[in-house]
Amino acid sequence: MSALRFSDTISAALADGILVVTIDNAPVNALSADVRAGLMAALDHAEKDGAVAGVVITGAGSTFIGGADIKEFGKPPVEPLLPDVISRIETFAKPVAAAINGAALGGGLEVALACHRRHAAPSAKLGLPEVKLGIVPGAGGTQRLPRLIGIAAAIDVITSGRMVSAAEALKLGIIDSLSSGVPVTEAVADIKTIDSSTLRRTGLLPTPAEAADIIDKAATDALRKARGQRAPSEAVRLVRLAATAPLAEGLAEERRTFIELRDSEEAAALRHVFFAERAAGKVEGLEAVAPRKIETIGIVGTGLMGSGIAVSALNGGYRVIGVEQNPEVAEKGRERIIGLLDKAIQSGRLDAAGREDRVGRLTVTADMQQLSRADIVIEAVFDDLTVKTELFQRLDTIVRCDAILATNTSYLDPDVIAAATAQPERVVGLHFFSPAHIMRLLEVVNCKRTAPDVLVTALALAKRLGKLPIVSGVTEGFIGNSIFSAYRREAEYMLEDGASPQEIDAALEAYGFPMGPFAVFDMAGLEIAWARRKRQAATRDPAERYVVIPDRLCEAGRFGQKTGRGWYAYPDGRRTVDPDVTAMIEAARAEKGIAPKQFTAEEIVARLLKAMTNEGDALLSRGIAARASDIDLVMINGYGFPSSKGGPMFAAGRR
Ligand code: 3H9
């Protein structure tokens, strides 16, 4: 094999008369301008060189191609454009095969779809995740995929943006073969046998015949899940076009739609979220710190939160020791955890073998001494400072000296809990969101004395649990509840100033929140916040504006949905405006002599955004949050802020 180089990222070697072209553009072989130019140059070479009988395209490392280079979006386009490279591959006179060694996503799969043959490693994942970035595939995905697998299946794959396993890709017809060895070797052997006059050019295939009702159902399902987002509905329209329009027409319409969506606010916001997620959990200065080894996780308390944490830990492959106060409660905790695993089976997220494996790694006991085997203990007991400090002092005497202690408090000061222990540097906060086995967000609280390797271990653990870890410093409510408190306060101020709960909720829901704040308060219950306000009453600054309406609601026994009444009434479970609440609000305004103002939906959103970003700025200036994008991720993943708006800090910057 003699090595050839076509650009900084594209090299090739001749193997048995086949030019094996390798894309080496770490970290994910994205299709940058240099990759596109190198691919074109390699094809030029293959076209002219009579010794080359065919071409195999593959990726260096563990990825085939991670897609278009998202960092290039928003910059002036640089030729050759990806659709031109792809069209050159499809119409190439000599056979071209894709040796899919790892993830083939977005533009990466589009390159493969244009090849005449596709061989994938069993571990490869394939997909068109563009809708997650607010765009549609822009290099032929909506036109070529349906020609291979049919309209209904293409609608599902493209509008979900899901990763398809190599085995499923074979079944669907996306790939031609699953490699039992090295995909490149098999692709070279295969392509040598192909006659150039019989090349299967995907774009020229008709879409397979399908019953109209199957296609309609796939489209209806996709649009229902899209909940008003543009990209999935545009993708459905484009995929349907593949059945009726010639390739050139379909590609032109796809390109026009791709560019329009790529330049939209929604796509800019979703790109921000993509890069924010990659930056999250990275702590400056700790890059070289190695995490401690974690195999066994102790969890004290197996109630609602503890059982969810246990399921997360079992899903992450850890051994779990749950501890309860007595054997009866331990048995209940075990049943609760197994019940959650059974639910996962019912919803198809887990199979019977997976359940057995998890149950085999689970112990729930009333014997706290068992925690001497744990590498980390997470407490999920009642959120009370005395309860937690006493527990940590007891744990100090039981766990190994190198074990980590984590508190799952949402409002208490973990520095105080840490200070009560013999080794405060081994204490970290892990603030899970409920239900803990479902919610991705995990605030990792870096306490005053947390050791660097303890923080790094907590972050590594969070990733293995499939969580999105965001580091927060210590402050009341950490990042999320600090901002949510500011949001809540402002919503209450607006209520007093003249807006109704239903106007505020409707404005936020039209903006993209699944529920407005008052509907959320009713769902969560009003009594916990009431209890906290009562605790804080003695120390509250009398000059601070205080809205009494939520207290009045609680005094009237209106604790939200669970009591059938809160900010709204719930006859037959339906959220309904309650004249009694309107009267309470009007009375509270009159007591303060406030003349109610009218608010537009735009004003309501602007005021709430401002309250969130003011608090966000304060958290940044105090070093509680490391970056504005971390705040955005917390609000999107923990509090329903619409990802299509990019989070409060991003949205405020675009106004
Ligand atoms: C597209 O293809 C449009 C076309 O239809 C039409 C075009 C005309 N570009 O996730 P990781 C970076 S749209 C630039 O932690 P993993 C990422 O920022 C694209 N950079 O790795 C990070 O950088 P850093 C459709 C990218 O192993 C680093 O790579 N494709 C891109 O957990 C590692 O990322 C997608 O939407 C990119 N495309 O997962 C796929 N991708 O180290 C998006 C990644 O500086 N990518 N980076 O923080 C992924 O889903 C995952 O990255 C992947 C690897 C599964 C590939």
Is the pLDDT assigned to residue 647 strictly greater than 80?
A: yes
CB 107 within 8 A of CB 65: yes
Distance from the CA of 70 to the center of ligand 1, in angstroms?
Answer: 7
Q: 287 burial class (0-12, 13-18, 19+ CB within 10 angstroms)?
A: exposed
Q: Which three-class secondary structure string do you get for 549-560?
A: HHHHHHHCCCCE
Find all residues with CB under 8 Å of 255, minimum gap 6, and list them: 83, 138
What does the block give as tokens for 348? Answer: 């198809």
CB 403 within 8 A of CB 425: no
Mean per-residue pLDDT of the chain: 96
What pLDDT score does 117 carry?
A: 97
Q: Tokens 């971390």 label which residue? A: 630
What pLDDT score does 196 carry?
A: 87
- Give the pLDDT confidence of 485-494 residue by residue, as tens digits: 999 999 999 9
139 lines ligand 1 (CB under 6 A): yes
30 lines ligand 1 (CB under 6 A): yes
Task: Assign 655 a pLDDT band (cuts: 50, 70, 90).
Answer: confident
Strands of 187-314, DSSP E? 296-300
Closest ligand 1 atom to Cα of 282: 48
Q: Identify the three-state secondary structure at position 405.
A: strand
Helix (H) or strand (E) holding 469: strand 468-472
- Selected catalytic residue, list 47, 72, 79, 110: 110
Nearest to 20 by CA among 39, 36, 48: 39
CB 120 within 8 A of CB 100: yes
What does the block give as tokens for 625? Answer: 């949050």
What does the block give as tokens for 52? Answer: 């080359």
- Give the pLDDT confidence of 142-165 residue by residue, as tens digits: 999 999 999 999 999 999 999 999
- Give the pLDDT confidence of 238-296 residue by residue, as tens digits: 999 999 999 999 999 999 999 999 999 999 999 999 999 999 989 999 999 999 999 99
* Distance between CA atoms of residues 655 and 650, nearest Å: 9
Q: Is 465 left (phi over 0), alpha (psi -120 to 50) or beta?
A: alpha
Nearest to 150 by CA among 119, 171, 180, 125: 171
Q: Which three-class secondary structure string do you get for 193-245?
A: CCCHHHCCCHHHCCCCCCCHHHHHHHHHHHHHHHCCCHHHHHHHHHHHHHHHC
Nearest CA to ligand 1 atom 46: 66
Helix (H) or strand (E) holding 82: helix 82-90
CB 487 within 8 A of CB 608: yes
Q: Do strands 96-100 and 441-445 pair parallel, antiparallel, or not at all (unpaired)?
A: unpaired
The answer to whether the complex's ipTM is over 0.90 is yes
Is the pLDDT assigned to residue 74 strictly greater than 90?
A: no
Tell me if the pTM is above 0.80.
yes
The distance from CA 363 to its chain's CA centroid, rounded to whole angstroms, is: 30
Nearest CA to ligand 1 atom 49: 66
Tell me which of 60-69, 285-294, 380-389, 575-584 is least confident.
380-389
Is the pLDDT assigned to residue 7 strictly greater than 80?
A: yes
The DSSP annotation for 559-586 comes to -BGGGTBSSSB-GGG--B--HHHHHHHH
Nearest CA to ligand 1 atom 32: 278
Closest ligand 1 atom to Cα of 137: 5
What pLDDT score does 2 carry?
A: 64
Q: Tokens 């966000």 label which residue? A: 616
The distance from CA 203 to its chain's CA centroid, rounded to whole angstroms, is: 33
Nearest to 366 by CA among 338, 393, 326: 326
CB 192 within 8 A of CB 16: yes
* Distance between CA atoms of residues 577 and 501, nearest Å: 9
67-70-71 Cα angle (round to 5): 140
Known catalytic membership, residue 90? no
CB 359 within 8 A of CB 338: yes
Distance from the CA of 66 to the center of ligand 1, in angstroms?
Answer: 5
Residue 550: cis peptide before it, omega within 30 degrees of 0: no
Tell me which of 29-33, 324-328, 532-536 is least confident.
532-536
- Selected catalytic residue, list 47, 79, 130, 544: 130
85 lines ligand 1 (CB under 6 A): no
219-220-223 Cα angle (round to 5): 85
- Give the pLDDT confidence of 92-125 residue by residue, as tens digits: 999 999 999 999 999 999 999 999 999 999 999 9
Q: How many residues does the chain have?
A: 655
161 lines ligand 1 (CB under 6 A): no
Residue 643: φ, ψ to 5° = -65, -25
Half-sphere exposure of 70 (CA within 13 A, CB side): 24
Distance from the CA of 112 to the center of ligand 1, in angstroms?
Answer: 17
The distance from CA 183 to its chain's CA centroid, rounded to whole angstroms, is: 31
Distance from the CA of 279 to the center of ligand 1, in angstroms?
Answer: 13
> Around Cβ 95, how many Cβ atoms within 10 Å?
24
Known catalytic membership, residue 130? yes
What pLDDT score does 422 carry?
A: 94
Find all residues with CB under 8 Å of 166, minimum gap 6, and list them: 100, 120, 121, 122, 123, 124, 125, 126, 175, 178
Alpha carbon separation from 128 to 71, 111, 113, 157, 394 (Å, rounded)? 18, 12, 11, 7, 52
- Give the pLDDT confidence of 213-232 residue by residue, as tens digits: 999 999 999 998 887 789 99
Q: Which residues pair with 12 in a beta bridge?
A: 4, 21
Hey, which of 9, 25, 28 would you mutate to test ligand 1's pocket, going by the most ligand atoms within 8 Å of its Cβ?
28
Residue 588: φ, ψ to 5° = -65, -40
Find all residues with CB under 8 Å of 475, minimum gap 6, and list them: 482, 619, 622, 624
Distance from the CA of 248 to the center of ligand 1, in angstroms?
Answer: 28
Closest ligand 1 atom to Cα of 63: 56
What pLDDT score does 1 carry?
A: 52
What pLDDT score does 535 carry?
A: 87
Residue-range domains of the chain with CATH: 4-263 (3.90.226.10), 296-474 (3.40.50.720), 480-623 (1.10.1040.50)
Closest ligand 1 atom to Cα of 133: 36
CB 333 within 8 A of CB 322: yes
Nearest CA to ligand 1 atom 23: 278
69 lines ligand 1 (CB under 6 A): yes
Distance from the CA of 67 to the center of ligand 1, in angstroms?
Answer: 7
Alpha carbon separation from 581 to 492, 562, 584 (Å, rounded)? 13, 17, 5
- The rounded percent of the chain whose pLDDT value lies above 90 is 93
What pLDDT score does 581 carry?
A: 97
71 lines ligand 1 (CB under 6 A): yes
Nearest CA to ligand 1 atom 39: 28
